[in-house]
Amino acid sequence: MTRFASYDGTRIGYRTLGDGPPLVCLPGGPGRTCEYFGDLGGLSRSRQLIMPDTRGTGESADASDPLSYRCDRLAGDVEALRAHIGLDRMDLLGHSAAGDLATLYAAAFPQRVAHLILLTPGLDAVGVEETDEQWRAALARRSAEPWYPAALAAMEKAETEDESMENRRAYMPFFYGRWDSAAQAHVDGGVSERSRPVRDGFRAEGAFNPSKTREAVSRLTAPVLVYAGEFDAAPTPETAAAGARLFPNATVAVQPGAAHFPWLDDPAFFTAAITSFLS
């Protein structure tokens, strides 16, 4: 793990893995460390993955200013990382909640983005989200699974503010295309109670200005890939497509049989799709 000082002096840790052209990968959660990426389904065989830990998590230091955990403020750490590794323009991937971070970075620093991958992304930054009916319908698509009744009950408890790790583990099957041993081993990777200030601050008031961000990304010239899983509930493939329409040069990919962590569900399909886009 390598560390550098960000714009305000906060020490940010990042890990590199693999060989080839660099791909900066921002972890989601918010507040999950880059550990859960693994090697992104073998993508490290063709790309050098540069994976930072968000400030306040993993090998990165806690912030002295809690407001710097806001999503828009975290874009400053991404820009500091780019400058530190010496890239004039970078290929950037943001997963889950970090889809919002990658979008805000691209809006603020469009000249620094060569390719943008929004991987099963949050789309709050551009004001796109599922309706409650769409969310429920997406969950119901998994109703034939043996784990469904218990996972649905846990999801409903989470909606009433049960944020316990035990309840989280109970609803996590929704986030995987296959609830197998690999998925079960992945659930707790990179998750820590230390990151609660990050989770609390990421979407704090002022973090998002969707109309301003929509206007900014409408001028983004870099190619954009919005990548969804067939079984994901947030975003659903339909929501991902709606988000993609806000970018002038965007492609949508939907991985069959996948959910929120598609590199686990079918590594070969995932790496082929990402490699093709970046090529």
Q: Where are the alpha helices (DSSP H) in the chain?
A: 71-85, 98-108, 132-140, 148-159, 165-171, 181-186, 196-202, 210-217, 237-244, 262-265, 267-278
Secondary structure class of 228 (helix, strand, coil):
strand
Question: Coil, strand or helix: which one is 155?
Answer: helix
| C-alpha span between 270 and 261 (Å, rounded) | 10
2-135+191-278 classified as CATH 3.40.50.1820: yes
Q: For residue 19, give the amino acid letter.
A: D
Does the reported pTM lie above 0.85?
yes
Query: In whole angstroms, what is the distance from residue 228 CA to residue 233 CA?
Result: 10
Residue 103 makes CB contacts below 8 A (sequence gap 6+) with: 94, 116, 118, 121, 123, 125, 126, 213, 217
Q: Parse the chain into domains and list their residue ranges.
A: 2-135+191-278
DSSP 254: E
Per-residue pLDDT tens, the chain, 279 aa: give them.
999 999 999 999 999 999 999 999 999 999 999 999 999 999 999 999 999 999 999 999 999 999 999 999 999 999 999 999 999 999 999 999 999 999 999 999 999 999 999 999 999 999 999 999 999 999 999 999 999 999 999 999 998 887 888 999 999 999 999 999 999 999 999 999 999 999 999 999 999 999 999 999 999 999 999 999 999 999 999 999 999 999 999 999 999 999 999 999 999 999 999 999 999
